């Protein structure tokens, strides 16, 4: 009887043994039995299932826990774990949070033409040097982390976030702009709202529309809807855009970021479904399916006391994902395709 009570106490302790820090996503001990982890997951993220769905999601969850262990082994560091997406198959996650048919604009353009365009729109100041650390968040040029929900609108978020930063750096008050406007109104350029799009064509739309409404006037719904842009309520606009690099040069990216502002990028984010924190250093795909924003870079000391040069990448899956809504990517190796499509609008 005492043994039964003791085992029950241990099980109860395990059930509630989720590491939480105020305002941060919970951390889970992957050495625990999968059924215990699934119960912790349900409690931590307030999941609700029917009886049938609970069985299905428990099976998917168990497969994902095994997948996470393989990912960490490949990466050589415990940067992947249980997230709010751990009850989705990779296919379901891609369908609801990534872009299925992303076709980067750069591949369709003349590289020499884009290089000339960059030279015309961007010149380094005399005596410019790249600092060791740089973060536009500390200078007020970055809005809070957004959550795109179950809509493949990352491209619209990435473009909007970077327009917000440029509008602020041009001397205006920073304002949350309407992502929903781009989702609803940017049509005919290959952009398809919740089904995906591209940042250069989003900039082209903003230029042709004459600007953007605020999120307050045209709030985000996470669904495709009829265009409701009101030119009378326009609060920010741009005049042009350019590629920060056309040959995957991360030094060029640093230069443009420091001199001009946060950068829009598109990446392979398939493994990000399970990212919980730390530096992605070794293992990431290169099939671009997600667009985000780089806000800075720094030297980062990892859990094993290694110092790595990283990009500070802002995602649009909410602040309860990753490093308060951010992911850290090691610089210099075009990891996740981070240097493949890097753009910046011009106010």
Catalytic residue status for 291: no
Per the DSSP assignment, residues forming a β-bridge with 327 are 313
Rg of the Cα atoms in the chain: 21
Strand pairing of 279-280 and 326-330?
parallel
Query: Alpha-carbon distance 54 to 168, whole Å?
Result: 46
**Which one of the listed residues 151, 154, 185, 266 is annotated catalytic?**
154
288's tokens: 């671009």
- Catalytic residue, chosen from 97, 194, 284, 290, is 290
Query: Which CA distances in Å does 205 have to 144, 198, 286?
Result: 24, 11, 27
Give the count of beta carbons closer than 10 Å to the beta carbon of residue 46.
7
Is the CB of residue 209 less than 8 Å from the CB of residue 183?
Answer: no
Catalytic residue among 72, 194, 291, 315: 315
The answer to whether 196 and 101 have CB atoms below 8 angstroms apart is yes
End-to-end CA distance of the chain: 73
The verdict on whether 282 is a catalytic residue reads no
CB 310 within 8 A of CB 200: no
- Per DSSP bridges, beta strands 290-301 and 279-280 are unpaired
Beta bridge partners of 312: 296, 328
* Active site annotation includes 154: yes
Report d(CA 87, CA 64) in Å as an integer. 8
The CA distance from 14 to 340, in Å, is 44
Q: How far apart are CA 151 and CA 223, in angstroms?
A: 7
CB environment 1-30: b (16+ within 10 A), e (fewer): eeeeeeeeeeeeebeeebeeeeeebbbbeb
**Torsion angle defined by CA atoms of residues 282, 286, 291 and 294, in that order, rounded to the nearest 10 degrees:** 40
Catalytic annotation, residues: 154, 290, 315
């Amino acid at each position: 009887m005492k043994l039964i009570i003791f085992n029950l106490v241990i099980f109860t302790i395990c059930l509630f043994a989720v590491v939480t820090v105020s305002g941060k996503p919970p951390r889970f001990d992957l050495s625990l039995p999968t059924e215990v982890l699934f119960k912790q997951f349900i409690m931590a993220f307030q999941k609700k299932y029917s009886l049938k769905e609970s069985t299905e999601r428990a099976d998917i969850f168990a497969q994902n826990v095994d997948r996470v262990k393989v990912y960490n082994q490949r990466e050589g560091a415990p940067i992947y774990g249980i997230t709010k997406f751990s009850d989705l198959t990779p296919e379901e996650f891609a369908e609801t949070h990534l872009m299925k048919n992303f076709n980067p604009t750069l591949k369709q353009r003349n590289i020499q033409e884009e290089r000339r365009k960059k030279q015309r729109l961007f010149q380094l100041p005399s005596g410019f040097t790249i600092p060791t650390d740089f973060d536009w968040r500390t200078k007020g040029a970055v809005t809070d982390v957004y959550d795109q929900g179950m809509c493949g609108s990352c491209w619209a978020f990435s473009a909007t976030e970077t327009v917000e930063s440029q509008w602020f750096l041009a001397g205006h008050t920073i304002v949350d702009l309407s992502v929903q406007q781009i989702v609803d109104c940017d049509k005919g350029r290959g952009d398809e709202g919740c089904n995906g799009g591209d940042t250069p064509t989003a900039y082209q739309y903003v230029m042709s529309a004459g600007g953007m409404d605020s999120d307050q006037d045209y709030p985000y719904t996470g669904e495709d809807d009829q265009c409701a842009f009101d030119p009378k309520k326009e609060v920010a606009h741009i005049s042009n855009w350019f590629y920060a690099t056309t040959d995957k040069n991360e030094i060029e990216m640093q230069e443009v970021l420091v001199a001009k502002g946060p950068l829009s990028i598109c990446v392979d984010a398939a493994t990000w479904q399970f990212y919980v924190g730390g530096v992605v250093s070794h293992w990431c795909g290169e099939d671009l399916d997600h667009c985000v924003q780089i806000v800075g870079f720094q030297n980062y000391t990892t859990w094993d006391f290694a110092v790595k040069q990283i990009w500070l990448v802002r995602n649009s899956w909410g602040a309860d994902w990753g490093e308060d809504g951010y992911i850290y990517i090691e610089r210099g190796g075009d990891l996740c395709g981070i240097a493949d499509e890097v753009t910046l609008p011009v106010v």
